[in-house]
Structure 1
Amino acid sequence: MSVKPEPASALFAGPFALATLSAPPGDAFPALVTPDGRALDLRAALGDDRLTVLGVLDDWEAFLPRLRALAADPDAARTPLAGLRRHAPVTPRQVFQSGANYRQHVIDLHVAHRAADDDRSDDVRRAEAARIMDRRAAEDQPYVFIGLPSSITGPDDDVVLPSWAEQPDWELELAAVIGRPAHRVSVHEALAHVAGYTIANDLTDRATVFRRDMKAIGTDWLRSKNAPGFTPLGPWIVPASSIADPGALRVTLKLNGETMQDESTEDMLFGVARLVSYVSHTARLLPGDLVLTGSPAGNGMHWGRLLRGGDVMDGSITGLGAQRTRCVAEAK
């Protein structure tokens, strides 16, 4: 049973967003949604019964003016969102995830993980970490790894916590959605390849991040991040033209009504343009692909409070709407 999101006066920034919706028990359909809470079935509006949101993104530059015209058309046959199910807005071909990308978050981790023989004050160690982070942002490269599209679920769907997950944690993140193929693009060119933005909660089982049997091999992102449903996505893809500055958005996650994460994307070490450019110099980014930008401070490990059955997570990012997911513990 899904937990429905709280109502809002304006669902997102700008004149329209993309979504994937369904009227149960019907099939999911690509939708143009307006901020007053109404939806238009793009299959009917554009005369293509096979159209999906991924199909729209595959030819984003051609579809964008048509979408703007539909959003401005007062006679378009829109229906209220009430009674419609919100799915993940897109099923990407590839998912790229950034780690250790928020300055304050990494500084907090540095201070928390004190060596046994380090007797310096927290202020001294925090200043040291700040210098390291500033140098990293200026001179180093982002840390990016690959996720699985099969971990993606809808913004209102229940999240099943696997019985083997000992320390499931939340990580609310800004996600960039690619709209033009990108390969070896510069930082200056990168944002021109972004169609829009959405919300991702990149859940992680902290207990399996590092291999216990082979410590030298390092991190195990397959095990720790890619269980089915571990990436609630959406609800909307808001066009990039509606987001004035992706580096000035508020990322907020509440657990059972209590604020746990509340940070600006300004705190990112590597912004969206640098991340997209960096990924494109190794991989060929395709329309619909996701580039997750990392988690700000305030994860469960910081609070000493991890996810358990019955928890409700409310996640929101400025201009991108909100998602609400309930945790269900899998029986052992």
Structure 2
Amino acid sequence: MPLPSFALAVANLADGPHAVVLSAGNLLNLDSVADSLKLTAPISTRAVLDDWDRLLPALRAVVASGDGEWTALSDATMAAPVEPRQILQAGANYRKHVIDLAVKHADIANGRTEDQVRAETADLMDKRAAQGDPYFFIGLPSAVTGPYDTVTLPAGTHKNDWELELAAVVGRPAYRLSPEEALDAIAGYTIANDLTTRELVFRRDMPEIGTDWLRAKNAPGFLPIGPWIVPKDDAGAVSAMRLTLELEGKAMQDESTEDMLFGVAELVSAVSQTVQLLPGDLILTGSPAGNGMHWGRLLRDGDVMTSTITGLGYQQTPVVNAS
């Protein structure tokens, strides 16, 4: 699969984890050029994102010079590319996904056909996109894991699902941004797989309280991210990226960001009306159609998910049951 031409990441090298830059299939250890970057080693990717506007051109210059210690990508293993302070997660943001869910949960036998449910939900989605607001909830940094790490399904659960998402990575402090300002606060983009335990989404003991995203989405390792943070200028058109998740070689999700109800700029602006965004924060932008609930096929022991997004590389995530 093609690599990004330039990206920020964290790699496990011979002497441990290091912040690195990818270029031409090789990794530059940023600690080896700390003086050139006017940073103190050990350098973290969050420290780079804290000063992104200054450091991005400096990183490009150091890479062009060829200075520093370089390692072949094949000699390293990739870790999660950042330790975020905040994870803001958009829900119900892909039109077809919401329509499919409505059909799944509708009482088709009660005088309504599937076509009627689809048409009614499509109309609601059009109205929401025109007049509504994005929906967000919060994820925990403790759920983050690397792009190739094994995920252990929580003990006693049976309905664990995948949700491939484009994640925007914040590159400067920001609050109450307009949509026109929003992308200026974004350093770049990465891949996220926002796993969900479906039987924990709704509280049976207290239905009126609604969804319980804390229990459903924040098990250890339930948010593989990375491997790369690709700067927005290197990532291509964010409005036309292809998201594909394969399970055991079969494409389960395969959709374009064109199907979003709210684009990345609208999402970043909306969440910034409430949240003071900080460098390194992740803003997940929703998952397209094709989740396990749609297919009637959920995650099980021994599965391997391969997740790709145009221009951002890929993840490969094995799944095991709790022992």
Instruction: Give the TM-score, by structure 2 length.
Output: 0.96
CA offsets per residue over residues 5-37 of structure 1, 9 Å max, x none? xxx3x312xx4100101125x321100011x32
Q: Is the Cα–Cα contact under 8 Å of residues 16 and 71 in structure 1 kept in the other structure? A: no
Point out where structure 2 has 5 or more consecutive residues left out of the alignment.
none
Tell me whether 1:19 sits opposite 2:12 in the alignment: no
Aligned ranges for residues 174-323 of structure 1 at < 5 Å?
A: 174-323=166-315
Moved more, 172-181 or 44-53: 44-53
Q: Is the Cα–Cα contact under 8 Å of residues 145 and 222 in structure 2 kept in the other structure? A: yes
Point out where structure 1 has 5 or more consecutive residues left out of the alignment.
1-7
- Residue 38 (structure 1) aligns with: 26
Tell me whether 1:114 sits opposite 2:106 in the alignment: yes
1:287, distance to aligned residue in structure 2 (A): 0.3
1:49, distance to aligned residue in structure 2 (A): 1.3
1:207, distance to aligned residue in structure 2 (A): 0.3
Q: Distance in 2 between the 1:201 and 1:210 partners?
A: 21
Q: Distance in 1 between the 2:63 and 2:11 partners?
A: 17
Is the partner of 1:181 in helix, strand or coil? coil
CA offsets per residue over residues 38-86 of structure 1, 9 Å max, x none? 0000111123312100000001001011111123224554220112120
Moved more, 55-64 or 67-76: 67-76
1:286, distance to aligned residue in structure 2 (A): 0.2
Residue identity opposite 1:21 in structure 2 = A
Q: Is the Cα–Cα contact under 8 Å of residues 108 and 114 in structure 2 kept in the other structure? A: no
Q: Distance in 1 between the 2:152 and 2:117 partners?
A: 38
- Residue 71 (structure 1) aligns with: 63
Is the partner of 1:51 in helix, strand or coil? coil
Tell me whether 1:154 sits opposite 2:146 in the alignment: yes
1:127, distance to aligned residue in structure 2 (A): 1.5
Q: Distance in 1 between the 2:52 and 2:67 partners?
A: 24
Q: Distance in 2 between the 1:280 and 1:71 partners?
A: 33
Q: Is the Cα–Cα contact under 8 Å of residues 105 and 297 in structure 1 kept in the other structure? A: yes
Is the partner of 1:191 in helix, strand or coil? helix
Number of aligned residue pairs: give it: 319
CA offsets per residue over residues 215-260 of structure 1, 9 Å max, x none? 1111111100000000000000000111232111000000011110
Instruction: Give the TM-score, by structure 1 length.
Output: 0.93
Q: Name whichever structure is richer in helix by fraction.
A: 2
Within the candidate set 24, 28, 31, 2:17 is matched to 28
- Residue 127 (structure 2) aligns with: 135
The ranges of structure 1 where at least 4 consecutive aligned residues each deviate by more than 6 angstroms after the TM superposition are none
Moved more, 138-147 or 36-45: 36-45
Q: Distance in 1 between the 2:267 and 2:207 partners?
A: 28
